[in-house]
């Protein structure tokens, strides 16, 4: 019983880690080369929540992109780019952004509601494991790991179940073998009698 609780607890922890790493944690891995050489693909960046009015030109901000813009421009849901212009409009602050490695500004404006924070730190290469775990092969690896773990945890019970099944099937299989031997012997005797009569 204790092993079952531990196993399900591990599943809950892995699922929660995958969910919260996408939703609420103040870090994200870099995908792509748009911010080279400052931020490289596979770096893990940490960002701090900041008031929209505190953002200045030159800051690298992390922001979410609305689904329609993602689909239209084929871009990721979260981007970290440098602010190149700030516009104060009647609907609030908007930021124009650009990747350091991009020749032009991003074709969209970032509304202050989409602002997630300002980049505060970066850790080289630490984003690669997170990117892998978020990918389809990473998900498959997690599922296989959980399956193998379950087999290891319950191997004793599985072996006992297989032995019980073999014990129950043994008389049936043994009986079938004896029956088939009798049938073969009877067939041989009958065929001998047929050949002699001919």
pLDDT tens profile 179-198: 666 666 766 676 665 554 45
Instruction: Check whether residue 142 and residue 169 sit in a common domain.
Output: no
Separation of alpha carbons 45 and 96, rounded Å = 21
Instruction: Check whether residue 97 and residue 167 sit in a common domain.
Output: no
Tell me the CB-side half-sphere exposure of residue 149, using CA atoms within 13 A. Answer: 14
Separation of alpha carbons 138 and 12, rounded Å = 17
Longest dimension (CA), the chain: 113
CB atoms within 10 A of CB 72: 12
CATH number at residue 46: 2.10.109.10
Separation of alpha carbons 76 and 131, rounded Å = 13
Q: What is the DSSP letter of 112?
A: G
**Residue 155, in any domain of the structure:** no
For 65-119, the pLDDT digits (tens) are: 999 999 999 999 999 999 999 999 999 999 999 999 999 999 999 999 999 999 9
Range of the domain at 123: 2-149
Confidence bin at 3 (pLDDT 50/70/90): low
Instruction: Check whether residue 118 and residue 180 sit in a common domain.
Output: no
Q: Rg (Cα) of the chain, in Å, rounded?
A: 33
Q: How many domains does the chain have?
A: 2
């Amino acid at each position: 019983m204790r092993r079952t609780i531990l196993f399900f607890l591990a599943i809950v922890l892995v699922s929660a880690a995958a969910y919260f790493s996408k939703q609420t944690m103040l870090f994200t891995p870099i995908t792509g080369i748009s911010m080279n050489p400052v931020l490289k693909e596979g770096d893990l960046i940490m960002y701090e929540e900041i008031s929209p009015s505190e953002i200045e030109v030159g800051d690298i901000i992390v922001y979410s992109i609305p689904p329609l813009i993602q689909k239209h421009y084929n871009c990721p849901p979260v981007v970290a780019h440098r602010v190149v212009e700030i516009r104060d409009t009647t609907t609030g602050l908007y930021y124009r952004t650009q990747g350091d490695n991009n020749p032009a500004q991003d074709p969209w404006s970032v509304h202050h509601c989409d602002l997630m924070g300002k980049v505060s730190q970066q850790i080289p290469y630490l984003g690669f494991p997170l990117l892998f775990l978020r990918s389809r092969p990473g998900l498959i690896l997690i599922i296989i790991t959980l399956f193998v773990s379950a087999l290891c945890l319950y191997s004793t019970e599985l072996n006992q179940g297989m032995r019980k099944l073999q014990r129950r099937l043994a008389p049936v299989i043994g009986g079938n073998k004896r029956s088939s031997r009798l049938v073969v012997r009877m067939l041989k005797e009958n065929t001998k009698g047929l050949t002699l009569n001919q």
